[in-house]
Amino acid sequence: MKLCRLMLGLALCLTLCACAPEPGSAAGEPDPKSAVGQEQPEEPPVQPISPEKPMPEEEGEEIAPAPEEDTGILPPSEENPSDWAPSEQEERIDPWAIQEKRSLTVRVVDEEGSPSPNIAVAVRDTFAETEGIDVVDVWNEVSLTDATGYVNRPFKDLPVMPICITLENRSIPASDPLRFQEHYYTAEEVAALPEELALTFEGPNYVEATEELCPTILEFRVTDEAGQPLANASVEFYCALNPNNGKGGKYLDDYPVLDNIEGVWEGDKVLTAGGYTDADGVYLYGFQSQAGSRDGFCYIARASYNGKTGPQKEVELSGGRTVLELTVGD
């Protein structure tokens, strides 16, 4: 009986040893040899993070996009942005469209306070030079002072804007800095200007400049029918013949300062020059040409006074000084 029990115990131990797992296999894990013909996927290796170089998210940096395909076009140049970026729309102003306007009368006097006649007065906008702004249409008007020093045409509907008022003595050579004198005003200053603005021309008046600086002079003497001199009479004239080119109607080299003479050359418009007479009825026009260099030039002129206009007369220059007498009738 004891022998039987011993034999049964030995058999049980042998049975338990046969069912035990192989070494290296954990309980509950599948045996890789049992999955016949099946490949197990490999897990990607984890890249270690270096403590010296943190991840981009930790630095607040953006991850750079992948480089684009090379098209042969150069990248934008900071030295020349116009190569890559369209220029911004420049601000442009139309002075004529400014709503706020005013009138302005200018009177020019000399350094002693006396009226300074035959000084050209020009008013223009200064958006480009003082504001750096392009303008659609430049505002520019020119007038001329008469014997009283007042401009013959006041500046009406002048836009309230930055302006420059230029005084010009046209008997002074253009190369002389005294010929032009400029006065700048901001828009606020233009709005505050008086209705009548007095400006001083510093330098020789037009008579002094003509006598001293002009080698060739055309002198006009204006009288009424009784032979009495007419002060502050308007004289205008144009060049009717230039012997150098054999053609009539050569325009004057100077600026036109008065209205065009109508009725000449069948209504054609011509550029005219001119000015106003003094108390003796005399008006001088000076040329920068040397005496005698304009011999043979012919000019046609006429005078006006108190709304009346006298007949046209022609004169041919000769020598350094030529005199033309003009009459204005009743």
Contact 300, 312 (CB under 8 A): yes
Reply yes or no on whether the pLDDT at 14 is more than 60: no
- Helix, strand or coil for residue 274? strand
Tokens, residue 318: 């000769």
Assess whether pLDDT exceeds 60 at residue 318.
Answer: yes
Q: What digits encode the pLDDT tens for the residues 156-204?
A: 999 999 999 999 999 999 899 999 999 999 999 999 999 999 999 999 9
Q: Please give the average per-residue pLDDT across 33-50, as a whole number.
A: 48
* Architecture of domain 93-200 in this structure: Sandwich (2.60)
Range from 4-8, 51-55, 137-141, 316-320 that averages highest in pLDDT:
316-320
Domain ranges of the chain: 93-200, 214-328
- Higher-confidence residue of 225 and 36: namely 225
The CATH code for residues 214-328 is: 2.60.40.1120
Q: What is the pLDDT of residue 263?
A: 44
- By the 10 Å C-beta count (0-12 exposed, 13-18 middle, 19+ buried), 224 is classed as middle
Identical fold between 93-200 and 214-328: yes
DSSP run (H or E) holding 326: strand 321-328
More confident: 238 or 36: 238
Per-residue pLDDT, averaged over 210-222, amounts to 95
- CA trace torsion 100, 164, 127, 156 (10° rounding): 30
Averaged over 205-220, what is the pLDDT? 94
Instruction: Among 99-108, 120-129, 198-207, name the one with the lowest average pLDDT.
Output: 120-129
Whole-model pTM: value is 0.67
The pLDDT of residue 267 is above 90: no
Q: Rounded to whole angstroms, how far apart are CA atoms 164 and 125?
A: 6
